[in-house]
Structure 1
Amino acid sequence: MLAENSLEERPRKRVLDTVDRVSEMCFGLFMALTFVGTVSAATSGEDAGRKMLYTALGCNLAWGLADAVMYLVRTIADRSRRHALALAIHRERDAAAGVRALRERVSAALDPFISDADLEAIRKRVAADESLPERARFMRDDFLAALGIFIIIVLSTFPVAAPFVIFRHVPTALLISRILTLAMLFVCGFALGRYAGWSGGKAGLSMMALGVLLTMAIIALGG
């Protein structure tokens, strides 16, 4: 009963952690910036801003879908690898071989702190588990995370491209677009810095600088 209660009280894990959310937001911003980065004051036409938004949105819709699908592919591949290890240990009758298999998966940073006795305790629990499925499967949260990735990338289009629809004066729209983008990059960097235990302000400024450099590089390479 105590174990069941502790499981029920455990907070639900987010389907996307801070690193995932920040990475996808920055990716969407960089993709949208490749379209507005080449805009100049000479750009004209009544529908220029609307075309800019539709083009950037179409790009991020496509990349959001691709990134979401690849997230699912990466997730099932990683889970299948871990599941194969669990099955191998479950079926392995040689305890020493099971411990060696676990040792191979321990990261180099943690290896000095994990003894063979620790691994043997894990091996015994895995070997005694009769509920292991035959193969790894997707979970509901996997699809929720993929949907979250798609939404984040698509939404990141609007702060970059929407000013060109709101303001007909292209230089003004370009200025506002860049200010909004830099502000979002700062927020992303700040959140990532707090998550990693760094200085939030320094991380935000670093992300802004990195975003500018990456956008310049993407445009220079024909992105």
Structure 2
Amino acid sequence: MNTITPAGHTGPEQRVPILNTVDRVCELCFGLFMALTFVGAVKAVTAGEDAGYKMFLTALGCNLAWGLADAVMYLVRTLADRGQRLKLALTVQREQDQAVAVRALRDALPERLEQLVEDTDLERIRARVAAVPTLPPRANLVLDDFVGALGIFLLVVLGTFPVALPFLVIEDIKAALIASRVLTLVILFIAGFALGRYTGAGAMKAGIAMTGLGVLLTMAIIALGG
């Protein structure tokens, strides 16, 4: 989909980085929580010969499936969001009543921004949209979207690989499980630290909070028999 430049001309859509810091941290944490819960759930089932190897494959397979599902949903969300923006642009462009078009733009604003934007500002936007010569008939995915989906898949799988690795290199299942959980908490702290620094909420506080969430989840898993 094309965007509208301040001069009223169309140009290539200006996208934020395919995966920003929040995207990367959230996807990594989702994968870690998934691995943590799944490893705890299958511990008893995989007891016996080659138990560590089985748990490694199980945890890795879990995250392969999660990464694939998350990548597909990323494409679905991207297409839906782009389609919603295109629908708004087409509505504004085709609407003959300028007041109705401005109202459509106002309805699309986030609630916190609505009171900060005047109708005169929206009228200028409406005029620019109306001046666009052509708009695509439908929203489509572009190459960057598939690169982003691949990035999510690799982030979930590779980012959580250390959680499964102890079951491959440590023969004692209990020791491997402890090592896996410790690694999970370490990675959660790093992820929270990065998120806190990015948002300005306090890197250490966010890291500790994310680790605490992981501890609570681990305790819940153990209490449930995992």
Give the TM-score of the pair, scaled to structure 2. 0.85
Mapping for residues 35-184 of structure 1, pairs under 5 Å:
35-37=38-40, 45-184=48-187
Deviations 1:119-149 (A, max 9, x none): 0010000000013111111111111111111
Q: Residues 187-206 of structure 1: CA distance to partner in whole angstroms, max 9, x if unpaired?
A: 11011111211110010000
CA–CA distance in 1 between the matches of 2:94 and 2:126?
A: 11
CA distance in 2, matches of 1:34, 1:91: 51
Aligned to 1:7: none
AA matched with 1:58: G
Paired with 1:205 and 1:189, the residues of 2 have a C-alpha distance of 7
Summarize deviations over 1:150-190 as a string: whole Å, max 9, x none: 11111133211111111112333223222211110001101
Please tell me the root mean square deviation across aligned C-alpha atoms, in Å. Answer: 2.5
**Residues 1:60 and 1:39: Cα distance change in structure 2 (over 3 Å):** closer
Which range moves more in the overlay, 45-54 or 187-196?
45-54
Indicate the residue corresponding to 1:186 in structure 2: 189
The alpha carbon displacement at 1:218 in A equals 6.1
Change beyond 3 A, Cα 1:93–1:184: same
Cα deviation code 1:2-38 (max 9, x no counterpart)? x9xxxxxxx9731011111111101111111123335
Aligned residues of 1:160 and 1:178 also touching (Cα < 8 A): yes
Structure 1 residues 38 and 94: alpha-carbon distance in aligned structure 2, compared to 1, 3 A threshold: closer
In structure 1, distance between residues paired with 2:74 and 2:50: 36
Give the CA deviation at 1:40: 7.1
Q: Is the 8 A contact 2:28 2:160 kept in 1?
A: no
The one-letter code of the counterpart of 2:103 is: R
Per the alignment, residue 198 of structure 2 pairs with 195
Q: Secondary structure at the match of 1:37?
A: helix
CA contact (8 A) 2:40 2:221 kept: no
- What is the identity, as a one-letter code, of the residue corresponding to 2:132? D
Q: Percent identity between the aligned chains?
A: 63
1:29 aligns with one of 19, 32, 40: 32
Cα pair distance change 1:87/1:166, threshold 3 Å:
same
Local SS of the residue matching 2:111: coil
Compared CA separation, residues 39 and 84, structure 1 to 2 (3 A):
closer
Shift of 1:90: 0.8
SS in 2 for 1:146: helix
Q: Structure 1: how far apart are the matches of 2:81 and 2:20?
A: 17
Deviation of 1:219 after TM superposition, in Å, equals 7.0
Distance 1:46 1:156 in 2: 28
Structure 1: stretches of 5+ with no match in the other structure = 4-10
Asked if 2 retains the 8 angstrom alpha-carbon contact of 1:32 and 1:157, the reply is yes
Question: Does the 8 Å contact 2:162/2:183 carry over to 1?
Answer: yes
Structure 2: tracts of 5 or more residues without a match: 1-5, 7-13
The alignment of Structure 1 onto Structure 2 pairs a total of residues equal to 213
